Amino acid sequence: MKSNQSKVKEVSLEFGNLIKQRREDLGYTIKKVASAVHSSESYISRIESHKRTNPSVCIVYGLAEVLEIELGYLLGVAFPHK
pLDDT (tens digit per residue) in 32-54: 999 999 999 999 999 999 999 99
Q: Which residues contact 36 (CB under 8 A, 6 or more apart)?
A: 62, 65, 66
Q: Does the pLDDT value for residue 1 go beyond 50? A: no
Assess whether pLDDT exceeds 70 at residue 23. yes
Share of the chain above pLDDT 90, in %: 82
* DSSP H stretches of helix in 1-82: 13-25, 30-36, 41-48, 57-66, 71-78
Give the phi and the psi of residue 25 in degrees, each rounded to 5: -60, -35
pTM recorded for the entire structure:
0.87
